[in-house]
Structure 1
């Protein structure tokens, strides 16, 4: 079933040319330039960053997967099949025979149970995905358990829509780790967490070779992979943040794929007969997070004014040319219940009137934490210019993604410009972060985007909880449309764009898979002519 993915990208190049001379990279190695400065950990139980989860998608097998072209089609990966009890509370998974970890150990239901338990017990950033189902450190070993080598049982606390539960297991937290290897490296009861930050214990098509933080990430093919060994024996990812540098390396043949070309570089390589482009609409959203601890941003008139102070058309047509479309609601187009109306456009005079209503006719000064890549800085500078027309002095604070994320997660920002990708393909993934916040205190255990921006969404939290129990898809979709309208009206977010990813490749590179989410980009099918 998974082999069908190999055909997904055939015929999807935006530009095709006659066969060009072979790139100067080895024929059995894939070399990419990619901004991977957001890598913090290689542990699936802790990773919550775009680059890390793409890494995990290529090195770890997950319990469940979905078709990249039709995300409504869910299939088993480590879990070959499953059953749901009549009361909707018990999921029983049959674990596939014949899967081995890189260590040579057999993958069993005990490994799968341990992996899920470990996510909950470590309680790091992605743990909330499983915590939604009532799993806690006290009960998880009873509620998630292996009953024999091939049977995994998971007992949830409410009769959720089954697809919601299954989609959560397609996320990074559904990655299965080698229990024996992980526990061999356990220190002081940390379940191997410190070791796993920079090491590997998976069964996927590629294994970790070496990660040099800030420089490169290299993988080696799993020649014994249960679903077929990759054609590329090595994958080398070079951390190159500058788009112009990526273009130069690509056109010289020093790399096979450039992942972060900006508008100018994409326009230039389209005329190169040795380069072809591959695009895929993604679920990622570009947005501004407005801290409600800030005395100015906490005013509803200010929040609304800022939504009228973004040059949506100008940014999509120039800075993001081809790589984004205007989208202002929290569910990306393509999700159940997505609201695709865009009520805001650049309107300086309307914004000024709203600021005057807030008692801020003379404007104010505020800071924005910004990842120091070309596209993000250009977006920030465009916003800075339009805000200035309404009297707002926006100070841009650039930094590496790791720095800006750390500050944002600690609620120490005024404004954060960021890119948010869904953790799974169910609408709850975004509803539960943009419109849900059960505890707005600084020491809360759940830390969704609403919490990061110190916003209490009130009754919306209960409405989000209610939506995941609705099994009628039309009724459920209507609930999400209503939530999106409410967040648009009152939320501390300026949601701006939905991403289109473009990869530029040497003409001899085939079958790279770009998926609908950041962790569904696959290297295992890549070949070179």
Structure 2
């Protein structure tokens, strides 16, 4: 693929920054980002399932429908300019935009859409489950996804809300690839998988120009992008693992944006010359009680616990800049999120609830906690506040892998965790916090309800499925708001915070978009004044 000379020159200038002296300045037409990118395992949309690779795909590939830089909360047409939904027959027919080309210059066609979905299902890599929940498999995909003229018709097998289906189609594995280029680079029947992990074949605002694992990603602007094109010629994402080094590079002018600084480093930035973007992230933090433990089965314990966390104290001091108070299972920043926070730290009220509920005190229970900051510090604060009313936590720190394994086996007592959605639809978290159709040990489900052995009331199960299937968007949103209120008040979970992210940047950078998930990070609108 040919690269314009001005882009090559910019790239050389930007890469030279790797050895730049103090007070360097990044090129005016290049954005340089310091970020830990060693999580990348794959860049192929059919395989990639990591945070950094998700950000990469949001900028390099388009989908039929997507969330975009102008408004990360609104689902809009991507490669599809319009669509018709036939709920009765479970089909959606998309009309593709005219005149949209891949980076290669090849036009985007229905054949590319069909091929893209087919290869995700056929390769069966990590993210394939997101699409196969529509009832797609290797045997039926050619019947479920078809094309004619400039349209693509998708069929799905399930009584799903069209909103749910559309959100599935806006996810990473639904990215559309240039079938001609990918097939030309196929090796040993891998459908271009190896090649796509070091090259791109998209139609997005940027294309991949260079990738060096644990070193850098270099993206070149697509001047022919069908929407407003990127304002800068290139984005260079440098792998910088140490947060302190990121801060130093930002202050010296060697980078324009630092993505992984700590709150302390953010606070230490000079008052002049720098800005900070603060964004809620999708991870919600909670404590849950295993219902196999008799002492934790009384709903009065769950209710009292909601008044034994110093929400404001924790988020304004110990966790300042890392979390904010949030008390519902669907995160702020997504359509349909419940932002009401009815619970406050009130030990006296908790004592009254425990007494009226007939709870025998003291309760002594183990609480599993990740063995690194800020989790250990938060656990100690919560341990002290719960002890005031006779609920005594024995903190059991462990590695992430050990705790998750214990949790999946339902062998814990109490546990402090966080949870994030797999895709941008409330059902992604509703199924985790408000649904459990089989509470037997043999009925394993990757949900926090099953893992905590909570036999969800059948009425709540039915409402969760009803919300999944509801076709009216406004009615559906109201149903999820009510589900969140009920789980907030009546489930064996105490949801207490949502992660936030602080991004430091030079004050001349404008237009950077940091949404609630890695799928919602965009560079297309960035400019340097």
Report the TM-score, using the length of structure 2 for normalisation.
0.78
Residue 295 (structure 2) pairs with residue 279 (structure 1) = no
Change (3 A) 1:236 1:429: same
Q: Which residue number corresponds to residue 112 of structure 1? A: 113
Residue 152 (structure 2) pairs with residue 152 (structure 1) = yes
Contact kept? 2:220, 2:233, Cα under 8 Å: yes
Count of matched residue positions in the alignment of Structure 1 and Structure 2: 499
| Distance in 1 separating the partners of 2:75 and 2:463 | 26
Q: Which residue number corresponds to residue 59 of structure 1? A: 60
| Distance in 1 separating the partners of 2:79 and 2:344 | 46
Change (3 A) 1:183 1:393: farther
Report the CA distance between 1:166 and its aligned residue: 2.4
| Distance in 1 separating the partners of 2:386 and 2:253 | 42
Q: Which residue number corresponds to residue 11 of structure 1? A: none
Q: Which residue number corresponds to residue 428 of structure 2? A: 429
Matches within 5 A, 1:508-519: 508-519=508-519
Matches within 5 A, 1:396-407: 396-398=397-399
Contact kept? 1:363, 1:393, Cα under 8 Å: yes
Contact kept? 1:246, 1:261, Cα under 8 Å: yes
| Distance in 2 separating the partners of 1:358 and 1:429 | 34
Report the CA distance between 1:218 and its aligned residue: 0.7
Matches within 5 A, 1:470-481: 470-481=470-481
Q: Which residue number corresponds to residue 218 of structure 1? A: 217
SS state at 2:430 partner: helix
Report the CA distance between 1:219 and its aligned residue: 2.3
Q: Which moved more, 1:503-512 or 1:444-453?
A: 444-453
Change (3 A) 1:337 1:47: same
Matches within 5 A, 1:87-486: 87=88, 89-148=90-149, 150-158=150-158, 160-183=160-183, 191-193=191-193, 196=196, 200-211=200-211, 213=213, 215-227=214-226, 230-240=230-240, 242-269=242-269, 271-280=270-279, 282=280, 284-288=282-286, 290=288, 292=290, 295=293, 299=297, 307-322=306-321, 324-333=323-332, 337-347=336-346, 361=362, 363-369=364-370, 372=372, 378-379=377-378, 382-383=381-382, 386=385, 390-398=391-399, 414=412, 415=415, 417-421=417-421, 423-424=423-424, 426-438=425-437, 447-450=446-449, 457=456, 459=458, 460-486=460-486
Larger Rg: 2
Contact kept? 1:515, 1:521, Cα under 8 Å: yes
| Distance in 1 separating the partners of 2:452 and 2:441 | 11
Q: Which moved more, 1:457-466 or 1:57-66?
A: 457-466
Q: Deviation per CA, 1:106-160: give whole Å up to 9, x if none.
A: 4321221222233344455544433443333432221112234x32110123564
Report the CA distance between 1:85 and its aligned residue: 3.1
| Distance in 1 separating the partners of 2:375 and 2:246 | 17
Report the CA distance between 1:168 and its aligned residue: 2.7
Q: Which residue number corresponds to residue 495 of structure 2? A: 495
Contact kept? 1:83, 1:92, Cα under 8 Å: yes
| Distance in 2 separating the partners of 1:300 and 1:436 | 20
Report the CA distance between 1:36 and its aligned residue: 4.0
Change (3 A) 1:86 1:260: closer
Q: Provide the alpha-carbon RMSD of the alignment.
A: 4.0
Change (3 A) 1:508 1:397: same
Change (3 A) 1:248 1:283: closer
| Distance in 2 separating the partners of 1:443 and 1:219 | 47
Report the TM-score, using the length of structure 1 for normalisation.
0.78
SS state at 2:146 partner: strand
Q: Which residue number corresponds to residue 79 of structure 1? A: 80
Change (3 A) 1:222 1:196: same
Gaps of at least 5 residues in structure 2 are 1-21
SS state at 1:396 partner: strand
Contact kept? 1:80, 1:94, Cα under 8 Å: yes
SS state at 2:331 partner: coil
Change (3 A) 1:48 1:406: farther
| Distance in 1 separating the partners of 2:87 and 2:465 | 21
Change (3 A) 1:105 1:122: same
Report the CA distance between 1:82 and its aligned residue: 1.7
Contact kept? 2:427, 2:468, Cα under 8 Å: yes
| Distance in 1 separating the partners of 2:451 and 2:183 | 33
| Distance in 1 separating the partners of 2:104 and 2:342 | 54
Report the CA distance between 1:475 and its aligned residue: 3.7
Contact kept? 2:244, 2:261, Cα under 8 Å: yes
Gaps of at least 5 residues in structure 1 are 1-20
| Distance in 2 separating the partners of 1:70 and 1:347 | 38
Report the CA distance between 1:379 and its aligned residue: 4.1
Change (3 A) 1:501 1:362: closer
| Distance in 1 separating the partners of 2:457 and 2:191 | 37
Change (3 A) 1:381 1:259: farther
Report the CA distance between 1:221 and its aligned residue: 0.6
Report the CA distance between 1:423 and its aligned residue: 2.0
Contact kept? 1:411, 1:454, Cα under 8 Å: no
SS state at 1:519 partner: helix
